[in-house]
């Protein structure tokens, strides 16, 4: 019996090792370009491009500078290759009135609702507790 026990333990260990999940090998993607330029007024521009077709470009400008309404208004786009090999490009704007995506892959109703929401009245600012 004691001669069989080590073989049984060895078989259990081998079976357990075979059952362990194996993580698929991940592809390394080269970064072809990556720039970020920050400006003194708070605006910026950035661009990123990878070897797998992924790209991102964004420009942000300060609007209503020096007022209570001062904010960043952003315009940009990103591109990637979907699982079917199709190039997907999304454009967007973002700022104090929200995020608005548009492009061939964005449902036009989503863009229309986001555009309309920009014109909705904004809630009044509440005073901070204790002031």
pLDDT reading at 32 higher than 90: yes
Higher pLDDT, 16 or 69: 69
Domain interval for residue 75: 31-117
pLDDT, average across residues 25-41: 93
DSSP 51-114: TTS-EEEEEEEEESTTSTT-EEEEEEEEEEE-TTS-EEEEEEEEETTEEEEESTTS-HHHHHHH
7 lies in some domain: no
The pLDDT-based confidence of 12 (bands split at 50, 70, 90) is: low
76 belongs to a structural domain? yes
For residue 59, being part of any structural domain is answered with yes
How many structural domains compose the chain?
Answer: 1
- Structure tokens given for 56: 């991102």
Kindly report whether the global pTM for this prediction surpasses the value 0.85: no
pLDDT of residue 8: 60
Residue 74 lies in a domain: yes
| pLDDT of 68 higher than 80 | yes
Q: Is residue 131 part of a domain?
A: no
Predicted local distance difference test score (pLDDT) of residue 51: 94
Q: Mean of the per-residue pLDDT values for the chain? A: 82
């Amino acid at each position: 019996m004691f001669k069989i026990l080590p073989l049984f333990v060895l078989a259990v260990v081998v079976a357990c090792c075979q059952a362990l999940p194996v993580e698929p090998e991940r592809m390394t993607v080269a970064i072809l370009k990556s720039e970020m330029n920050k400006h003194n007024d708070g605006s910026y521009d950035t661009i990123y491009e990878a070897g797998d077709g992924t790209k991102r470009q964004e420009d942000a400008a300060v609007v209503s500078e020096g007022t209570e309404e001062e904010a960043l208004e952003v315009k940009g786009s990103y591109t990637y290759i979907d699982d079917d090999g199709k190039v997907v490009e999304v454009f967007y704007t973002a700022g104090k009135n929200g995020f608005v995506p548009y492009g061939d892959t964005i449902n036009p109703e989503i863009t229309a609702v986001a555009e309309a929401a920009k014109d909705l009245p904004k809630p009044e600012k509440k005073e901070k507790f204790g002031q």
